[in-house]
Amino acid sequence: MAEKRIAFVASQSADAQASLAALRARYGDAALAEADVVVALGGDGFMLETVHRLIHQDTPIYGMNRGTVGFLMNAYQEDGLHERIARAQPTTLHPLRMVAVDQQGKRHEATAINEVALLRETRQAAHIQISVDGKVRAQELVCDGVLVATPAGSTAYNLSAHGPILPLGSDILALTPISAFRPRRWRGALLPSAAQVGFTVLDPVKRPVSAVADYFEVRDVVDVQVRVDRQVGYTLLFDPDHNLEERILNEQFTP
């Protein structure tokens, strides 16, 4: 079996750049447009950047951790890279599509790998109405914000906001409030991945809200619609002994 053509990309950290130079010297470096696989060197933030950059290219991405958390990354090792990639298990995931309308009536679209989050912009708490598939489910949520997370993103901001960790095969989205004031005891909801979630900002002038799809932010929104985009997919590669499903299980049993 012919060895796969590898393109290397790396974050700007010193460790990532040193690893980039070492791996390029050892394995060469294909152009991104011609590569069979992309090796991303950095942390989870850089992996998100890489996925966004390549999401329409349909090239699998094999991450190696040269950052901090590295939840989406494999362990860094220079030896046997071709063999590791050949054994790696693919996981194909779908992002969220956000459509947001701001106070001027301008429409904004963005893709989110992890989550779409609505966040208050000032000291005033946000007042947000939530609908699912066109039916109002929460008449008024008073909060710092609220988010919709994918299974792959459920261990990121969603987990910090005390949302549930979602197994990859669950075909579920997490709807999680951020510091909810009223209703105080609402802890969020689990939704089928086919659901369309709508947010209407109540009193947007006095209580402005921004919408953030991963790192793309829209200020002063009045309406936000979120759904899974089945027309777009991306593939991550994981070592067999440390795949993403195993990491999600481990995260749920880690003190």
CA distance 181 to 127: 10
Annotated catalytic residues are 44
Query: 116: buried, middle or exposed (CB in 10 Å: 19+, 13-18, 0-12)?
Result: buried
Beta strand 189-192 with 172-178 is: antiparallel
CA distance 177 to 117: 9
DSSP string, 112-139: ESSEEEEEE-SSSPEEEEEEETTEEEEE
**DSSP code of residue 244:** H
Angle at alpha carbon of residue 153, lines to 184 and 126, rounded to 5° = 35
